[in-house]
Amino acid sequence: MRKTINERINALRRWMEEHGMSAFIVPSTDPHCGEYIPARWEARQWLSGFNGSAGTVVVTTDEAALWTDSRYFIAAEEQLQGTGIRLMRDGLPDTPSITEWLTARLPADSTVGTDGNVNTVTAVERLQTELTANGMHLCTSYDPMETLWTDRPAVPAYPVVQQPLLLAGVSCRDKLEHIRRICRKAQVGAFVLSALDEIAWTLNLRGSDVHCNPVFVSYLLIETEGPATLFIDADKLTDEIGDYLHGEGVILRPYTAITDAIRAYRGSSIGLNPAATNYTVFGAVPDGCSIRRMPSPAARLKAIKNEAEQTGYRNAMLRDGMALVKFLRWLKPAVEAGGQTELSIDRRLTALRAEQALYRDISFDTIAGYGAHGAIVHYEATPQTDIPLEPHGLLLLDSGAQYQDGTTDITRTIALGPLTDEERRDYTLVLKGHICLARVRFPDGCSGTQLDVCARYAMWQEGINYLHGTGHGVGSYLNVHEGPHQIRMNYMPEPLRAGMTVTNEPGIYRSGRHGCRIENMQLIVPFRDTEFGTFLQFEPLTLCPIDKTPIVREMLNREETEWLDTYHRRVYEALAPLLDEEHRRWLEDATAPLEKTR
């Protein structure tokens, strides 16, 4: 494989020479700027061998480097060995930016290339500004993978299905009209939706073009005083879906017609989100048509779940909780009996979820990291890295499912047997952070950054930190990572509102030793109105015991212990009536008050 990677990089260098370029930048995205992308646009992985969900490869005539964030430092270091590609640890103080790195290596007047189809407007304009300031040029007109990647996968063509109104809660026609009202207020004549989850949500349709994400490759152009046009390959649509869209006021055009349609648009203004629209689509807007850069109306509407969606989450969590209880009841005895590995337990958990009603798929590839693998934040076991589980140490298990009425995402760190003092202390610090964030009440409109310290406070007092975000939105039978709101250290101004879902997942990772993370999904709900305004709080959605055996009890105060006992009582009361006697007895012990735990 290392030889193959070297051959691909050399082929790209020959292509660069033919096109007069001194460097080429290959990001991780697709034309729809998604985090998870169809195989056709996995060019960065094809070129480098690195399979993380985030990263950018830069190739010059004699060097190559890959930038990725802290989730993938360990994995990337392993996967890049022998390729000649240098790992650049993005976000660390000593790591240069891509333009800084290029400026140190290329002479003035050099041309740097990147594909405008897979780069956002924001990314291209920032890169263009930085390169120009250093006397270099940017070319966005070419996709070298069209010629170099000879067995490149086709654009996926899986069928589209309808999300029932009972689960969606609001009709497609009403969603379109809501978006149009926002556009009229912003004085734009049309809006371009590029994000696949936004299109699926708006149209109450789902697909399977992207692994683990029930979306379909398309664009949606919504005219304020005209039709909504869906750009999609026709073979994805049955006659029934076509009739449904026609009835909702949506017309159909081929997927590849999007740029021609925008060039032909005769309205005075068009809106788009520069952080979620590719540069080629942006460049198709005709002269004389003003461009309004604005957040996507669909993103903000989608983030606040309606009553039907909230009910769907709660029902999905009941079924997910049953599968998890059956799995956890089985896990430790199975490990003690021997023969279990990271991959085998993944298969077991997936099979238990697949038994549940409305199960459609996993929501992301399971992270089952035992021992030192738990310190690799987004570790995914492969046949080459798979290791046996032994009856000692910690297992970090981050997993989720796609049910037609809700998407789940949960992490539990499980003691498989005796632990070190360091493992127990780290686990308890993570639990304290999780509880602190779960308990917080906050003013309506607070940003996630303002709450992030709650999850980190206890570990900060010990000089410990983690570099990933603390919480992200989750879609309603849609993408497991959903914006625009987040909870994280770096500034995220999007306000938190009642009806949003968000995860709570602090962690501690010690390279070569272990990792701990505890994650629940939460729903933001009203707390109360006071003379100081409206206050909100978190309702836990996830229904699964938190392992009590690693807890250093003297590290928890009374309020933290009460929260844990209350949460466990909630889990037991919700799941016990749905379980058989064997699993009910196990759950009763797993959710017993902390002081009564053996």
Separation between Cα atoms, residue 292 and residue 270, nearest integer Å: 6
Query: In the numeric block, which tokens belong to residue 289?
Result: 């048509």
Q: Residue 598's pLDDT is what? A: 65
- First-to-last C-alpha distance (Å) of the chain: 50
pLDDT per residue of the chain (598 residues) written in tens, 0 to 9: 666 999 999 999 999 999 999 999 999 999 998 888 999 999 999 999 999 888 999 999 999 999 999 878 888 998 999 999 999 999 899 999 999 999 999 999 999 999 999 999 999 999 999 999 999 999 999 999 999 999 999 999 999 999 999 999 999 999 999 999 999 999 999 999 999 999 999 999 999 999 999 999 999 999 999 999 999 999 999 999 999 999 999 999 999 999 999 999 999 999 999 999 999 999 999 999 999 999 999 999 999 999 999 999 999 999 999 999 999 999 999 999 999 999 999 999 999 999 999 999 999 999 999 999 999 998 999 999 999 999 999 999 999 999 999 999 999 999 999 999 999 999 999 999 999 999 999 999 999 999 999 999 999 999 999 999 999 999 999 999 999 999 999 999 999 999 999 999 999 999 999 999 999 999 999 999 999 999 999 999 999 999 999 999 999 999 999 999 999 999 999 999 999 999 999 999 999 999 877 6
Separation between Cα atoms, residue 169 and residue 174, nearest integer Å: 10
* Torsion on CA atoms 330, 333, 337, 338, rounded to nearest 10: 60
Separation between Cα atoms, residue 435 and residue 474, nearest integer Å: 20
CA atoms within 13 A on the CB side of 263: 8
- Given a contact cutoff of 8 angstroms between Cβ atoms, the answer to whether 130 and 102 are in contact is no
Separation between Cα atoms, residue 234 and residue 156, nearest integer Å: 12
Q: Residue 50's pLDDT is what? A: 93
Q: What are phi and psi of 442, to 5 degrees?
A: -155, 155
pTM above 0.75, yes or no: yes
- Given a contact cutoff of 8 angstroms between Cβ atoms, the answer to whether 359 and 403 are in contact is yes
Separation between Cα atoms, residue 213 and residue 207, nearest integer Å: 8
In 488-590, DSSP assigns E strands to 501-504, 507-510, 514-517, 520-530, 533-540
- Given a contact cutoff of 8 angstroms between Cβ atoms, the answer to whether 27 and 44 are in contact is yes
Residue 13: CB partners within 8 Å, gap ≥ 6? 59, 61
Task: Say which DSSP state 465 is in.
Answer: -
Q: Residue 58's pLDDT is what? A: 97
- Given a contact cutoff of 8 angstroms between Cβ atoms, the answer to whether 238 and 159 are in contact is yes
Q: What is the largest CA-CA distance in the chain?
A: 74
Q: Residue 52's pLDDT is what? A: 87
